[in-house]
Structure 1
Amino acid sequence: MSVTELRPRVGDSEKITINLGVVDLGQIDLLVQEGFYSNRTDLIRTAIRNQLGVHADVVKQTVVRKSLVLGLQTYTRQQLESFRAAGEKLQIQVVGLATIAADVSPELAAAVVESVTVLGAFHASNAVKAALAGRIQ
Structure 2
Amino acid sequence: MTKPSVLFVCVHNAGRSQMAAGWLRHLAGDAIEVRSAGTAPADQVNPAAVDAMAEVGVDLTTAQPARLTDESAAGSDVIVTMGCGDECPYFPGKRYEDWQLDDPAGLDLDAVRPIRDEIRRRVEKLIAELID
Q: Answer whether TM exceeds 0.5 for this pair.
A: no
The structure with the largest alpha-carbon Rg is: 1
TM-score (ref. length: structure 2): 0.25
Report 1 or 2 for greater relative contact order, CA contacts < 8 Å, sequence distance ≥ 6: 2
TM-score (ref. length: structure 1): 0.24
Richer in strand (by share): 1
